[in-house]
Structures are given as C-alpha cells and as structure tokens.
Amino acid sequence: MDRLLFLLATGIARGAIFALFALALVLIWRAARIVNFSQGAMAVVATYVAFAVTAFTGSYWAGLASALVAGAVLGYVVDRGVMRFAPHDSPLAGVIIAIGVVMVLQSALGIAFGQQYRPMAAPFDQSPILIGGVPVFSPYDVFVLVVAVVVMAALALLFTRTSLGLQLRASAFAPEVSRLLGVRVSRMLTIGWMLAAAVGALAALLLVPTELGLSPHSADMLFVYAFTVAVVGGLDSPVGALVGGLIVGVAISLVTGYLGATVAPIAVLVLLVAVLLVRPGGIFSAREARVA
Amino acid sequence: MSHRSARHSRAIAVAAASAMLITLAACSTPAAQSPDAPAPGVTDDTVTIGTHQPLTGPAAAGYSSISAATQAYFDYVNSTGGINGRTIEYLVKDDGYNPATTQTVVRELVQDDDVFAILNGLGTPTHTSVLDYLNQKKVPDLFVASGSTSWNQPEKYPYTFAFNADYVTEGEALAQYATDEFAGKKVCLLGQDDDFGDEFITGAQNVLGADGLTSVQRYSVSNQDVVAQISAMKAAGCEINMLATVNGFTALAIGTAAKLGWFTQWFSSSSGADYPTLVGFLGEDVGPKLLQGFVSSNYLPARQGNDWSELFEKINTEFNDGAPFDGNTMFGMSVGYLFAEALAAAGENPTRESLLEAVTSGDLVGNGILPLSFGDDSHAAYTGVGITTVDQGVQDYIGTTYVSDGKGSVSVSDAEPVAVENEGVPASAE
Amino acid sequence: MSVESELSGRGASAADSVRASATGMGVGTPSSAASVARASTTGRRRTRLLGTALVLTALAIGGTFLLDPYRNYQLALVAAYFCATAGLSLLIGLTGQLSLGHAALMAVGGYGYAITANALTDAGVDGVARFALAILAALGASGLVGLLLGLAAARLRGPYLAGVTLALVIALPAVTAVFSGALGGDQGLQIAYDDVPPALATIIAVEQWQAWVAIGAAAVVVTVLSGIRSGVLGLRMRAVRDDEVAARLNGVRAGRVKVFAFTVSAVAAGAGGAVLCFVTQSVSPGAYTLAFSLLLVVAVVIGGLGSMLGALLGSVVIVLLPWLIGTLTGAMDLPADLTQRLSGNLPVLVFGALLIVVTLLWPAGIRGALPARLSLRRRVSPAASSPPTPAPPTTAPEQPTQE
C-alpha cells in the first residue's frame, strides 16, 4: 500500500510535466493544425539558454525567465521562418518540416555544445516529505505541480476571459471569418506558436533537474510521452492534456514499479493504441477528430 | 509512349548512378594475396589501425574521450620514433553506438582504409554486429572495449581479444568482497536490462547462491527515472547495493537514493565507477559526500599516486590538450600501451599472423594491477579485479585482488601491479 | 504548394477514373468489352514493366563489376534501403498515411529472417533453401505486423498515425529486451554467413555476391510495387487520399485500400530488413532507431514522394551523404575536438535542412527536378486503368500543373 501511494505520487509529479508539455502541443494544434514534432528540440534549445543564463548569473529564476523568453523567440522564428510557408492543404508537410527542424536543432546543439550531460540543479530540495511514514512529494515536486496548475489556469483565463484569447480561438477555428471581422489571424497564429513554445520550454526546464542532466537529446522521451498524453486526451482539448498527463504519468510509474522499467515503452504503445482504437480522436474529443 | 519514356527514365537514372559510382570506384575481383606482400595497413614507416567509437549520440557522453586518449598515447609513442621505426596511425570512426553504423564504418576501415587491425571497438551490441565479419576477413580484432564474455571464444572467434575484465568476473569479485568484509548483510543489485546486467547478476549469484540477492532491480537506458527501482531496494532493506550501471546511471542511482533519504553502501562495476565522472554528474557540492566509501572493482592503475598515472597525466597534458584526466583517459592510454606492446612483439615486419602470435604467446604484460591471461586457449585479458574505495575524494586500491577461475568461484590473488619500463614505450624487437 | 501537389491538380481525374471503372464496368462483374480492352492493356503494361525491371537489374548487376568491395557493400545497403523506401513512398505518396515506424517494420523482417535462418541452420538446411524460406518468413512476419498496424491505421488520421508508429519504433528495444530469449536483447541475433556459391567463387568477392542478392530482392519488391502503383489499386489509393468521401461514393472501400497499402508497405520494409540481415549477418534493435526511421522519411521526401525513382535516389543520398561528409571533414584539417563534434552531427544537420528546403521549395523532390520527360510516367496510371475514357493529356509536363 505504501509502495502504491509512493508510485502514485511519483507518477503524478512526472505526469504534471507531461501534461504541461502536452498542453504546448495542444496549443499549436489548435492554432495551426500542426502537431509540432519539433517541440522537444525547441524546448531543449531554450533549456540550454536557461542553463547558460543560470551559470552566468547564478540565479535559477533568471534562467527560468530566459527559458520562457527563448522559447517564445524560437516559436516566433520557427513559425515565421519555416512553418508559415508549409503547404496548408496537406497535413503531412507540417509534420515533415517539423522533423527537419528537430534534426537541425539537435545536431546544431551537438556541434555547439557536444554530447555530454550538463547537470542542472533544482531550485528546491528533491527529498520527499514523509507523510505518515510514506515518502510522498518533494518540495520540488510541489513546485512543479504548482507551476503546472498556475500555467494551466493562466492559459484558461487567457483563452476564456480576455479579448486576445477570444481572437486566438476565433482565428484558430474560423480563420476566414475572423479575418473578415478584423482579427489579425496571422499575428494570432504567431502568438499561438510563441505561447506554446514558451510552455514547452518551461516543461523541459522542469524535467531536466530530475534526470541525468541536459543534453541535446534530453527531451526526446518527453516528447514521445507528451505526444501520447495529447493523443490520449485529444489533440483539441487542454483539459484532455491535463487528465491525459496524469494518466500517462501514473501508468508509467506503476508499470515501472510493478513490471519493470523495460516494459514502460511497451505500456505506452499499448495505451496509445487502445485509446485510439476506442476513440480515434482521443478521450476528450468532442467529435470525430477534425480533418487536419 | 509513356511506357517508353518510363524505361528511358529508369535507364538514364541507372546510367547516371553507374557513372557516378564508377568515378568513385576501383575494379574488384577477388585477388589472392601474394605471401611476400606487406600486411595490409603496414608500410615501411607506418602502421594503420582503426576503431569504432560512439563520438555522437546518447552514448557519446560517457565514452567519447577514450579514443582521444588512445590517440594521445600513440602521438607520444610516435614522437619517440614509433614502434620498430613505424609510427602508429589511428583511424577513429564514429558509430553513434548504432550497430548498423558500426557495420558500415568497420567495413570502410577494413576494405577502404586497409587497416592492419581493429583496436578497442567499443560496446557490446555494436561490436557484436561485426564479430563474424572481422573473423571471416581474418582481421585482428584486438582489445574490445566491453566486459561481455563474448570476446573470449578462441575456437569460434580466433581473431577477437577482450580488454575489460568481464562482467561475470566483476560480479563475482564484488560479491566475494561483500561476503568477506560485510558478512550477513543483505545484498541487492541494480542492473542494466541487457547483457551487462545479466552477466553481472550471474557473477553475483555464482558467489552468493541463486537466492543470495535480496532484491534484483533492472533499469532501461531509455528511462532516466530510477525512483521506482531505488525505492524498492530501500523498502527491501538492502544494505550492500551492487551496481551494473554505466556512469550516468550510477550517479542517478546514488542521487535518487539520497533524495529518498537513503545513504547506503554501493558496490559498482568498473564500467560505471569513474570518480571524476560521477562527481560531474552529481555536482561538486554533494558528489564527494555521497561517494565517500564508494566501492568498485578495477584492473587498471589508479588515477593518481602511481608511476603509470604520472606518466599518462604527463602525456595527457602534452598530447591531449590537457583534457580532463579521468578513468576514460586511463583506459584509453592503457589500451594504446597494450597495442604498442603487441606490435613491438610482432616483430620487425609485422603481419596479422605475427600480431596474433604476439598476443597469444602469453608474453604481453600490459599495465594492469594483475597479469594478463592471454594465451592460445584464453582471449580474456584480465580474469581478476582489484577492489577500490573512495576516501576523501581519492579513489584507490585497498590491496585486495580477486581472480576468477572462470567456473564460478574466486580466490584472493597476490599479483603485483606491472611496473613502468622505458618511459612507457614498449621496447622494439631486437 | 504541397508535398502532395503532384496530384492536387489531378485529384478529380483520379476520382473520375475510379468512377468510370466502377460504374462503367460494375465493381464485381466487368462488361466483356471493357474487360478485354483492360486485360490487353494490363498485359502490355505488365510485359513492359517486367522488361524494364529485367534490363535495369541486369545493368545494376553488371555495375557491381566496376565497384570495389566496400562500394559493393554500400550498393547492397542502397538496395536494402530501396526496398523500404519504395514501400514507404508508396504509402505516404499514394495514400497519405505517414509512418514514422518503418524502421521497426524493417526490424520485424530482419528478426523474421534471422530466427528462421538460425532454426534452419540448426536443422541442417542451408544454401538457397535457407535463404528462400527465411525471406518468406521475414515477409510473412512483417506483413502480419503491417496488417495489424494497418487495421489500426485505417481508423487514424495523419498526426495520430504518425504518433502510433513513433511509439512503435520507440518500443522496439523494450520488446527485444522483454523477449530477450528469442530476440537476443540489445545484442540482437547473429546468423550464419552465406558464402559465394562455389560456381561463382573464383569470379566475384562476397560483397559483390551480397550486392547481387540485394539488387535481386530490391528488383522484385520494386517491380511489384510499381505494378500496384500504376494499376487500379494505385488509382484507388490516390482516390482515397485525395477525397475519402468521394472515393467511398464511387465504390472504393477506403478502409480496405488503406489497410492493403499499409500491409504492402510493411512487407516491402520487411524485405529490406531481411536483406540487411543477410548482408550484415545480424539484426539488433540499436540499428533500427527512431533516427533511422526518420532517415527513411527523409529519403522518400528528398527523392520525391510517391515515386519509385525518387525512393532509389533518396536511398542513394542517405547512404552516400554521411560518407561523403565524413570524407570531406576528414580531409579538412580541423581541430580534433571539432571533427569529433561534426562527425555524427553534420550529416543530420544537412538532412534536416534538406528535408525543410525540399518540402517548402521543391515538393516533388530530386525526381521532380529531373528533366520533365523523365516524369511523364507519372501520367501512366489513369491512362492505363481507364481505357474507355479518353486518356488524360500525357504530353503536358507535370510541373506546370502545380501551384
């Protein structure tokens, strides 16, 4: 029982990061109808910026702020520099270009910084607090959860309560009508990219201190798991990203704990296929997935 | 009409491709080699050898500095005039730890670059994929950088020789040390989910008995989260924790345990026990504290405080741009030294046969803390390991050395470390 | 402009042709006149296809005499990759299903080959019988996995399918580790060495023999794929891709077409994996990574989606470019540290950049950049499969139809 509690807690903490990253995928999907396969690589670039800034200033928070800025800038560059020119009539073109972006960014990082892991310190203690003798969340886990909840709440407010949010939603769902109504659809699209990339960068930044360290491949598995999360939840649904993140995080933790680490990727594949066969648009899809 | 053009298009494409390839190519017919011709890769003043190493990709982090160290040692030897008047040219090919790439680059080395031998190919899955090829082509495959027992099969693979003490031996020695010095404690094990973990577990069970391990946990390199495994070991009440882990995961295991408030005794295989690398992962602030008392096995000279380390550190400063001097440097230079020794013993005009004879003669001594065991019926380099511990940031031998009999039992050895001679340049043949 | 723009101007004609064949002939019972006309065209087409295949195979085999062993090994690699890229190109180009997991399907073929070959070796079978049975097993295994995947894929759209296939290739090492008894964990399986047949031993080296076998396998695979591509099945695939609803209305069973395409593509990939296993005598999960899967996508995109010639050119590029770049950086006298960083990364950088540039600016790939008359055969299929209707203009170059 203690072990189950412990594994659940670990899974939730990890799942929060997956959820955050999946949210970034959902944001871009809603805005541009593109699954951004380059999200992981973009986030790692931003994390390298944070690493450099933290090393230079000695402040984790300066690093975190710079990761957000770097993420947004990258989002701008990737959208305006590349994705904007992707053919719109084909769902494949965006994916293929994104794969190209991954290859370029990762190899550029490898050339610039080499392959070695760079340890990143967490801003809070990572030792779990004992509750009734069972180690549950560490202060760092709590920090991650709080950040995830705050970001999601802020985005929810942005989208539902502000004029900008309304314009963002409008240009995503009815670009032609929005344009007629005076919404700058193109600018909204770019803002969507910048928002999403910043959120993705934040997720990677939160993940790295729990792992070996920062390397060009740090976010490879994060992307795969978060993509599973987004698909399980439904690519159109921010709530789905949150719930999916918790499901996948807990599932991986339980499988690793009870069946072994080796089985985890197989469990992810099975979960993904099972959900998609039952609901091809994900659990929280309101309807048949839109034709991309 | 369109069919005709289809044919044309294909014909033109093939013609174009052929033309391009012809310009790259030379003619090929299997030609019998004349016995008087010099061995491949050997000229009057050079010997060319090659290797495959993970310089890029996820595995590069731990190992990319090895070949640079070997190269630095060869540069040092070459600066003294080489071996038997020949300088050693070392071709390092990146395989990204991908067996498919290994197969390509090794063929390139053998067929295009005409290397004399392959030296220190790194990794079990990667090197396994070229084992048959190298033996078919009768290319000496010396001192493979992995502790798999696969390399020691003289009957099946007469051209392949190991360098590392194998994982079974390491498991046996560490388990024996636990039995000798920590009798009655609960011994557990965390292993990689491949042959490294499997063979290390076999070794530990050879000594402790089939049910001698309280808890056996496995990890996968693709998942950098070992909380579940470490918490299970903690819950099982483990007291001695054996590790078949690469450096990164040794650090992860120790770091994760510390986060769980668990400060316990670790016994690590040499493959994941390099002190400076571990401190790099864990951080300068907490690393030294967490690694106090860390036990591991090794067979090469310690990183400081002996003649070999002083010599290699000097070579590192002079020929390796002063790269960090760590276990990989020691490993890479030791490999270089052993090859130079074999080449020197292969005679004035070395052939692939004479090189193999030199290795199997049993006369090579290497630079380890115990003698090499190469012979006609053994292609294992080191059949034993010494125990090291970390004290106040210094990782050194405690003087206990175990030797495995290859049948599942180990005994204490009183072998003496090999001394440095002739400033670390093997004497040329008389 | 789109990766599919090759056909965007012709979607209507593809659907029209399907309608013609479906309504004019009836789906199951073709009228006799039409069927005679169709049969004779089909027969001619097949003869020409086979003739072309034979000539090209003979040329390629002759070419091996001009190459040294290492170049022949590279040629064998190209041939093995060609099997997989041809299948992938058919899948992406004709049905619009993007698979990022074709490396895993190649691995299935490789494992099928290795397990069967080892079992036969133990049973005392060798030579041609062992090779043939092992290849069949490889095709069967990859076909089965492809069928299962295809059944799932038929329900999924672009990014969802890409995600499932991505998860598949990520799970491959885990599968080999879980079933390490049969699949050998991360070391994979090694197989016995097939030497040159005694009759040829004095003429050719083993690398050349392996290249022959690889070329032969690729020739068979690509000929079959070309036949499918230019036949009525290929037409249905395009119809389903361009407008699934319209295709269904015209009597095309879209689900079946998609599953069929996926299965065929998987079998082609499996053949590639089996050939690789034959050439290298081993199969292991580390060889079939996500990076390799993406490289296959790079090959078909660079070569030109949907085109067999493009798949060939793409395979040549992914084999030769890393080697060329390695040779170039080796020749430049760069600091050791920089050379080391560049060695594995620079080819990836170039591939990534190529992928972006080709998709944005040059969607028909290298094949599209060849002189227009080389691309005319793109027009073959509608003409060949709808004899009663006037043939579409086969003389107009294809490029100008793109937006």
Residue type, position A203, single letter? A
pLDDT digits (tens, 9 = 90+) for A218-270: 888 899 899 889 888 888 888 889 899 999 999 999 998 888 888 888 998 89
Alpha-carbon distance A199 to A72, whole Å? Answer: 9
The shortest C-alpha distance from B369 to chain A (Å) reads 30
pTM score, whole prediction:
0.83
CA distances from B299 to A207, B71, B170, B382 (A): 37, 21, 10, 7
Nearest residue on chain B to C323, alpha-carbon basis: B105
And the tokens for B215?
């808890």
pLDDT digits (tens, 9 = 90+) for C1-47: 333 333 333 334 444 444 444 443 333 444 455 555 556 677 777 78
Interface chains of chain C (3 or more CB pairs under 8 Å): A, B
Task: State the best of C95, C160, C238 to mutate against chain A, taking most chain A CBs within 10 Å.
Answer: C160
Cβ atoms of residues A37 and A98 within 8 Å: yes
Q: Which residues of C touch A82 (CB under 8 A)?
A: 356, 360
Chain B, window 172-211: residues with a beta carbon less than 8 angstroms from a chain C beta carbon? 193-195, 198
Q: Calculate Rg over the CA atoms of chain A.
A: 19
CA A249 to chain centre: 13
Quickly list DSSP for B33-95.
PPTTSPPTTB-SSEEEEEEEE--SSTTHHHHTHHHHHHHHHHHHHHHTT-BTTBEEEEEEEE-
What sign does the CA torsion over B268, B269, B274, B280 have? Answer: negative
Q: How many CB atoms lie under 10 A from the CB of residue B20?
A: 12
pLDDT of residue C102: 93
Alpha-carbon distance C14 to C17, whole Å? Answer: 5
And the tokens for C332?
């430049």
Report chain A residues touching chain B, CB-CB < 8 A.
2-3, 6-7, 10, 14, 110, 114-117, 119, 121, 126-128, 135, 138, 210-213, 215, 217, 221, 253, 256-257, 260-262, 264-265
Task: State the best of C337, C343, C375 to mutate against chain B, taking most chain B CBs within 10 Å.
Answer: C343
Nearest residue on chain A to B63, alpha-carbon basis: A116
Alpha-carbon distance C226 to B15, whole Å? Answer: 20
pLDDT digits (tens, 9 = 90+) for B290-311: 999 999 999 999 888 889 999 9
| C50 touching chain B per CB within 8 A | no
Task: State the best of B5, B93, B195 to mutate against chain C, taking most chain C CBs within 10 Å.
Answer: B5
In CATH, B167-292 is 3.40.50.2300: yes
Residue type, position A51, single letter? F
Burial (CB count <10 Å: 0-12, 13-18, 19+), residue A283: middle
Which ranges in A2-90 belong to alpha helices (H)? 2-32, 39-57, 60-81
Chain A, window 78-137: residues with a beta carbon less than 8 angstroms from a chain C beta carbon? 82, 85-93, 95-97, 99-108, 110-111, 114
Cβ atoms of residues B1 and C394 within 8 Å: yes
Alpha-carbon distance B173 to B410, whole Å? Answer: 7
Chain C, window 173-232: residues with a beta carbon less than 8 angstroms from a chain B beta carbon? 173-174, 177, 185-188, 190, 193, 201-205, 207-208
And the tokens for A90?
């084909």
Spatial CB neighbours of C287, under 8 Å, sequence gap ≥ 6: B98, B99, B100, B129, C107, C110, C188, C276
Alpha-carbon distance C319 to B423, whole Å? Answer: 45
CATH number for the domain formed by residue range(s) B46-165+302-382: 3.40.50.2300
pLDDT of residue B96: 83
| B25 touching chain C per CB within 8 A | yes
pLDDT of residue B65: 85
Helix (H, G, I), strand (E, B) or coil at B318: helix
- B276-280: long-range contacts at Cβ-Cβ below 8 A with a sequence spacing of 24 or more? B276/B303, B276/B324, B276/B325, B276/B326, B276/B327, B277/B62, B277/B247, B277/B326, B277/B327, B277/B328, B278/B247, B278/B250, B278/B251, B278/B254, B280/A119
Axis crossing angle, helix A185-207 with helix A139-161, rounded to the nearest 10: 170
C376 and B6 within 8 Å at the Cβ level: the answer is yes
Tell me the longest C-alpha to C-alpha distance in chain C.
74
CA C65 to chain centre: 26
Only one residue has tokens 């159109």, namely A236
Mean pLDDT, residues C264-280 taken together = 94
Axis crossing angle, helix C254-280 with helix B99-107, rounded to the nearest 10: 40
pLDDT of residue B13: 52
| A278 touching chain C per CB within 8 A | no
Nearest residue on chain C to A97, alpha-carbon basis: C356
| Average pLDDT value over all residues in chain B | 86
pLDDT digits (tens, 9 = 90+) for B362-419: 888 889 888 898 998 899 999 899 999 999 889 999 888 898 887 778 888 877 788 8
Highest mean pLDDT among B127-136, C135-144, C323-332: C135-144
Alpha-carbon distance C244 to B79, whole Å? Answer: 71
CA atoms within 13 A on the CB side of C394: 18
pLDDT of residue C379: 38
Interface chains of chain B (3 or more CB pairs under 8 Å): A, C
C374 and B57 within 8 Å at the Cβ level: the answer is no
Cβ atoms of residues C392 and C383 within 8 Å: yes
Task: State the best of A88, A109, A269 to mutate against chain C, taking most chain C CBs within 10 Å.
Answer: A269
Cβ atoms of residues B47 and B116 within 8 Å: yes
The complex scores an ipTM of: 0.86
pLDDT of residue B313: 93
CA A139 to chain centre: 22
Short-list B16, B101, B33, B52, CA closest to C205: B33
Helix (H, G, I), strand (E, B) or coil at B144: strand
CA B153 to chain centre: 17
pLDDT of residue C14: 45
Only one residue has tokens 């040692």, namely B73
Pairing type for strands B394-404 and B410-413 reads antiparallel
- Assess whether the region B46-165+302-382 and the region B167-292 belong to the same CATH fold: yes
| A292 touching chain C per CB within 8 A | yes
In this predicted model, which residue has the larger pLDDT, B31 or A17? A17
The shortest C-alpha distance from C203 to chain B (Å) reads 7
Residues in chain A: 292
pLDDT digits (tens, 9 = 90+) for A82-131: 888 887 767 678 888 998 999 999 999 988 887 778 888 788 877 777 77
Q: Which residues of A touch B261 (CB under 8 A)?
A: 127-128, 135
Cβ atoms of residues B256 and B203 within 8 Å: no
Highest mean pLDDT among C73-87, C118-132, C303-317: C73-87
The shortest C-alpha distance from A212 to chain B (Å) reads 6
Residue type, position A176, single letter? E
pLDDT of residue C235: 83
In this predicted model, which residue has the larger pLDDT, C217 or B15? C217
Nearest residue on chain B to A8, alpha-carbon basis: B228
pLDDT digits (tens, 9 = 90+) for A169-213: 888 778 888 888 888 888 888 999 999 999 999 999 999 988 878
pLDDT digits (tens, 9 = 90+) for B319-368: 988 788 988 999 999 999 999 999 999 988 899 999 999 999 988 888 98
Cβ atoms of residues A268 and A228 within 8 Å: yes
And the tokens for A224?
């795969």
Quickly list DSSP for A219-282.
THHHHHHHHHHHHHH-TT-HHHHHHHHHHHHHHHHHHHHHH-GGGHHHHHHHHHHHHHHH-TT-
Tell me the longest C-alpha to C-alpha distance in chain A.
62
Phi, psi of A135 (to 5 degrees): -70, 125
pLDDT digits (tens, 9 = 90+) for C258-267: 899 999 999 9
| b/e sequence C213-251, b meaning 16+ C-beta within 10 Å | bbbebbbebbbbbbbbbbbbbbbbbbbbbbbbebbeebe
Binning pLDDT at 50, 70 and 90, where does residue C273 land? Answer: very high
pLDDT of residue C398: 36
The shortest CB-CB distance from A127 to any of B251, B259, B282 is to B259
Residues of chain C with pLDDT > 90, as a percent, come to 27
pLDDT of residue C132: 92
pLDDT digits (tens, 9 = 90+) for B194-204: 888 999 999 99
The shortest CB-CB distance from C340 to any of B18, B55, B133 is to B55
Helix (H, G, I), strand (E, B) or coil at C256: helix
pLDDT-wise least confident of A39-53, B88-102, C131-145: B88-102
Helix (H, G, I), strand (E, B) or coil at B218: strand
Binning pLDDT at 50, 70 and 90, where does residue C138 land? Answer: very high
pLDDT digits (tens, 9 = 90+) for B57-80: 666 667 888 998 999 999 999 999
Quickly list DSSP for B84-99.
TTBEEEEEEEE-TT-H
Question: Does residue B430 carry a pLDDT above 70?
Answer: no
CA B116 to chain centre: 20
CA C351 to chain centre: 19
Alpha-carbon distance B319 to B78, whole Å? Answer: 11
Mean pLDDT, residues C101-122 taken together = 94
Interface chains of chain A (3 or more CB pairs under 8 Å): B, C
The shortest C-alpha distance from A128 to chain C (Å) reads 30
Alpha-carbon distance B425 to B336, whole Å? Answer: 10
Short-list B191, B210, B271, CA closest to B408: B210
Q: Which residues of B touch C77 (CB under 8 A)?
A: 104
Helix (H, G, I), strand (E, B) or coil at B164: coil
Question: Does residue B263 carry a pLDDT above 70?
Answer: yes
Pairing type for strands B394-404 and A134-135 reads unpaired
Alpha-carbon distance B26 to A289, whole Å? Answer: 56
Mean pLDDT, residues B3-25 taken together = 49
Chain B, window 52-71: residues with a beta carbon less than 8 angstroms from a chain C beta carbon? 55-57, 60, 64, 68, 71
